[in-house]
Amino acid sequence: MMHNKTVVFFEVEILDAKTKDKLCFLDKVEPNATIGEIKSMFHKSPNEAGKSLKDEDVLQHLPVGTTATFYFRDLGVFLTEYAGPLLIYLMFYFRVPFIYAPKYDFTTSKHWVVHLACMCHSFHYVKRLLETLFVHRFSHGTMPLRNIFKNCTYYWGFAAWMAYYINHPLYTPRTSGQSSTALMISLWSQFCQIGNFSIHIALRNLRPPGSKTRKIPYPTKNPFTWIFLLVSCPNYTYELGSWLGFTLMTQCLPVAAFTLVGFIQMTVWAKGKHRSYLKEFRDYPTLRSPILPFIL
């Protein structure tokens, strides 16, 4: 005697996380469908009942009935914290009205350092935007709204503080008249930016899309990755080097403050990642330090 096996399908309602508007309704979704499969149809990051979900989560294993409601948050949320500093800084650079005295509206600084600083700052955040779109993989689902607000306050606030002083009509850098020195420092800063980007590419290539396998990052043929021999998180090492160069170039206290706060936070992240590597891999290279070779 043959028995017909009953297959229970799910009904999935897709809502916008911000407006709660219904985006679409999917019926007869197979119970073994993964969140990644649903996510790929929208190219957005999902939240179910406010909880972050991973791409490999299977629908029938989630704590939902036969009708599941998902909230999709647009990738633009992640771009906001980086686009803000870029636009804010440029507003101060071009001296739009209501920032400085009216006589300085849309005027240009006579100091080379001011223009180099704008190029370096803009390059940094344009790079971050492009990495968010094309390089980074968000393995932990979406970012909580409170973190988005905190990050935007941090990046936007420091961008405005730095830009106000660097682009102020009365700003006179100590490197004034030494354009070659400022140029060399700016080149160092961009060198570190390229190194940071190289590490991000290496980390992305370390684990193919959809793979759960975790590997120890090692240097590749790219010389910028050779620093993996000495540190666990060279992306933070390069990031620190870039902002140190920016600090020396501008000789500006707000920039130094931003660099210091960033260094403290990146050190916390690097130490956590380093401990995770040591715990997960018994053969992890013992020569490596979290962020600064042989020091920290």
pLDDT tens, position by position, 87-99: 999 999 999 999 9
Which is higher by pLDDT, 266 or 25?
266
Q: Give residue 20's pLDDT.
A: 57
Tally Cβ neighbours within 10 Å of residue 231: 24
Tokens of 139: 């393995």
Write out the two tokens for 67. Answer: 């009708």
Instruction: Using the CB atoms, write b or e for 144-178: b if 16+ within 10 Å.
Output: eeeebeebbebbbebbbbbbbebbbeebebebeee
Parallel, antiparallel or unpaired: strands 67-73 and 10-16: parallel
Contact 195, 125 (CB under 8 A): no
Residue identified by tokens 């936070």 is 265
Residue 40 has pLDDT above 60, yes or no: no
Distance of CA 288 to the CA centre of its chain: 24
Q: Report whether pLDDT(227) > 90.
A: yes
pLDDT in tens, 263-279: 999 999 999 999 999 99
Predicted pLDDT of residue 150: 83
Residue 257 has pLDDT above 80, yes or no: yes
Of residues 73 and 253, which shows the higher confidence score?
253
Q: Is the pLDDT of residue 132 over 70?
A: yes
**Mean per-residue pLDDT of the chain:** 80
The mean pLDDT value for 149-167 works out to 93
Q: What is the per-residue pLDDT across 203-217, written as a single tens digit (0 to 9) for each?
A: 988 877 666 678 899
Is the pLDDT assigned to residue 261 strictly greater than 90?
Answer: yes
Burial status of residue 89 (CB atoms within 10 A of its CB: 0-12, 13-18, 19 or more): buried
pLDDT in tens, 55-87: 555 555 655 555 555 555 555 566 788 899 999
Phi/psi of residue 173, each to 5°?
A: -70, 155
CA distances from 105 to 100, 164, 196, 226 (A): 7, 14, 36, 47
CA atoms of 229 and 287, how far apart (whole Å):
8
